[in-house]
Structure 1
Amino acid sequence: MPSPLLSLTWTDHVTGRQGFLVVDRLVRGVASGGLRMRPGCTLDEVTGLARGMTMKEALHYDPANRYVPLGGAKGGIDCDPRDPEAYPLLVRYLRAMRPYVESQWTTGEDLGLSQDLVDRAAAEAGLVSTVQAVYPLLDDEAGARRRLADAFAVEVDGIGLDQLVGGCGVAEAALTALDRAGVPRGGTRVSLQGLGTMGGATARFLSRAGLTVVAAADLKGTIANPAGLDVERLLTARDAHGTVDRSALRPDDLELPGEAWLSADAEVLVPAAVSYAVDASNQAQVTARWIVEAANMPVRPEAEALLAARGVTVLPDVVVNSGTNAWWWWTLFGDVGADAEEAFAYTRRSMRALVELMLTRARTDGTTPRAAAHAIAADRLPLIARRYGWYR
């Protein structure tokens, strides 16, 4: 793998904590990728995420779209987002990274950070917007910014569209795999790790599609019910970090240890929280047929090889969770409007086509879905480069 274009480690002068920025690749001078905050975040982790963003962007390349994929980047801060120092640390990080956000790096929420919080900190750091680097690429900047602002103001059942569209994409990826395998949705069980933005929305879309969510893990442990959890009840009882108030549980809901989501009796597992959740030591607990990576890098490579050897299919993050990023740009560039049904329909159509392409390529090449996704991205990157030039 080639080295990233830019790799930075920043040390906060107040707390001594570190933050990172990696720009893997630029397209038309700009790269896209979220900002995460978690204790133990490392430069290697951010580097891998930035490379994944390069692939996510390339996978959604359609020459007919107004949206032209950007390069890949990622930011990370080594801090617990619940720490009292977390917000001022975020502001100082963004202030330090301001030259890059203004000119090269478009960013937004990721693990541990909400978009509202990132936007507030960015304003305090003196930034116009966390996506201002892309503004020079827009034909009508004022109209595009207004369209994105309008889209972020849309709510569905009290939840912002921006918090739902990624989960819509994850759910569609899972449903595409089930449909290809001829597995009926009714009676198919799902277990999730994480009920935050991505996990909560995924649970909602899958349950509304007829699947049964039997387990969901948060910071306090796993909530389970073999007969099915009341997803809407749990989502209503979440705090800002996706932790469910246990007083909202029904009498027959079970409280199990945190790792119990992994071994739940379910056909579909959705790791939607942290990276590296499934490793070589715990993958043996998995009895599901599919793992759908809503989080970034939740399955370690050595675990994926062992899972594949016993017939467990991993649908990779570079495809599965790419809907949020793509929706931002579809909206900003004008491929979709500020309308929930239009956004969901476009996301479903795009994700289904991409997952179908990936699974067909995997079958044809005799490889895993991840290898197939990487091969598709490798095919598309030169097309983008020929059209817009190389920036390495």
Structure 2
Amino acid sequence: MTTSAVAPSVTAAGAAPAPRLQVVWTDPVTGRNGYVVIDRLIRGVASGGLRMRAGCTLDEVRGLAAGMTRKEALHYDPANRYVPLGGAKGGIDCSPDDPDARGMLARFLDGVRCVLERHWTTGEDLGLRQDTIDGVIAELGLDSSIQAIYPLLDDEEKARRRLADAFAIEVDGVALPELVGGLGVAEAALTALDHDGLAPGSARAVVQGFGSMGGATARYLARAGVRIVGIADARGLVVNEAGLDVERLLRTRDPLGGLDRSQLSSQDRQLPSDAWLDVDCEILVPAAVSYCIGAEDQARITARYVVEAANMPTLPEAEAALAARDVRVIPDFVANSATNAWWWWTLFGDVEADAGQAEAKVRSSMRSIVTDLLTEADRSGMTPRQAALRVVERKSEEISLRFCEES
């Protein structure tokens, strides 16, 4: 294992701060690498999920960790018990379908145990489910994948029980932890519609990816009246201009978000996976993989809004071209931030183990954040991403000032 550590204040002129810590771990069995990047520590702790995919790189994890810093700061509210953490991320260069994937996960978590115990709270991300992580954590004799945060809690036993109770809740057949992130994405999209004076009933959406994030996004958009006219999974795209039966597809999907083709209606059509960019719609939700919208791809998009449920799906040159066509991109660190926030709201007691409280908190927080950034974007002529980064900068300064005053 090799590490590099630099203070976050060491920067090139005009550049983003360097990460606080980078860990490159090499698997002694396969020779493949795993990574942990801590972008920023607040009160000694950083938060960010762990992904597993073939080809995962340090640069990728570094970018995701910086995004987590933004997600955390974005939800700062001095009235909450939860105070945002720093941002971090983990990644393993291994396909989740590899026969030794679980073994490599165990070796990786054991290898970075010292960081996990003290400074990094993590959970499921692309290619990994929380129950898989929890199982490996238990086998290694670790307490939890989020144990680094426990010293910050007023009543650890009560907080852990509240989070465990929340994880046991199901809403219409889907676990609450698998819904809150997509609810946040849907609320971001609905807020954008409302900001521009568009009714949900007049809007169509296409969702790429039907796992926990994409599936929940489709559910809550459909319940608001948006027609879900396309859903893409790893096997292809399913379209229906009249609207797909989202609830049926949710109840019958496989654990990795694959659609059960036997549940399609006679009006549903199947197309190749890459056709998802070509379907006419108002809302396009990339909810599967990073870097899937490039400069050439963006020309195929007819949507008015790209709402980033996946991490880093739109390349910068594509986003610039979309902005030139008046297509709003709601950035990932805004749109998909609700899962992370809900974990901490629940653990710190800002919401109880209650689906209604969780939904209300996610909706109100996301609506406030997206309204603020779109208003700022309109006022200043910025893109939504630029406006969101301005909000993050302001809230980060507030957090730093608070801890300076409390120290």
Q: TM-score, normalised by structure 1?
A: 0.98
Letter in 2 for 1:99: C
1:85 corresponds in structure 2 to: 100
Distance (Å, rounded) in 2 between the aligned partners of 1:376 and 1:232:
36
> Helix, strand or coil: the match of 2:107?
helix
1:180 corresponds in structure 2 to: 195
1:338 corresponds in structure 2 to: 353
> Helix, strand or coil: the match of 2:278?
coil
Q: Is the 8 A contact 1:95 1:126 kept in 2?
A: no
Q: Is the 8 A contact 1:92 1:125 kept in 2?
A: no
1:214 corresponds in structure 2 to: 229
Letter in 2 for 1:315: I
* Structure 1 position 35 matched with structure 2 position 55: no
* Structure 1 position 159 matched with structure 2 position 174: yes
Greater RCO between the two (CA within 8 Å, min separation 6)? 1
Which residue of 337, 351, 371 maps to 1:356? 371
Which residue of 383, 391, 395 maps to 1:380? 395
Distance (Å, rounded) in 2 between the aligned partners of 1:293 and 1:380:
22
2:24 corresponds in structure 1 to: 9
Letter in 1 for 2:363: R
Q: Deviations over 1:81-121 (max 9, x none)?
A: 11111111111111111111110000001111111111111
> Helix, strand or coil: the match of 2:97?
coil
1:237 offset after TM fit, Å?
Answer: 2.1
> Helix, strand or coil: the match of 1:216?
strand
1:304 corresponds in structure 2 to: 319
Distance (Å, rounded) in 1 between the aligned partners of 2:142 and 2:343:
19
CA RMSD of the aligned region, Å? Answer: 1.0
* Structure 1 position 56 matched with structure 2 position 108: no
* Aligned 1:168-207 pairs, distance under 5 A: 168-207=183-222
Letter in 2 for 1:160: A
* Structure 1 position 322 matched with structure 2 position 332: no
Distance (Å, rounded) in 2 between the aligned partners of 1:274 and 1:148:
28
Q: Is the 8 A contact 1:49 1:74 kept in 2?
A: yes
Distance (Å, rounded) in 2 between the aligned partners of 1:376 and 1:272:
24
* Structure 1 position 272 matched with structure 2 position 291: no
* 13-22 vs 190-199, which moves further: 13-22
Q: Is the 8 A contact 2:76 2:395 kept in 1?
A: yes
1:79 offset after TM fit, Å?
Answer: 1.2
Identity %: 63
* Aligned 1:51-130 pairs, distance under 5 A: 51-130=66-145
1:257 offset after TM fit, Å?
Answer: 0.7
Distance (Å, rounded) in 1 between the aligned partners of 2:201 and 2:126:
31
2:3 corresponds in structure 1 to: none
1:389 offset after TM fit, Å?
Answer: 4.4
Corresponding residue pairs, total: 390
1:37 offset after TM fit, Å?
Answer: 0.8
Q: Which runs of 5+ in 2 are unaligned?
A: 1-15
Q: Deviations over 1:261-288 (max 9, x none)?
A: 1111111000001011101121111011
Which residue of 248, 259, 264 maps to 1:233? 248
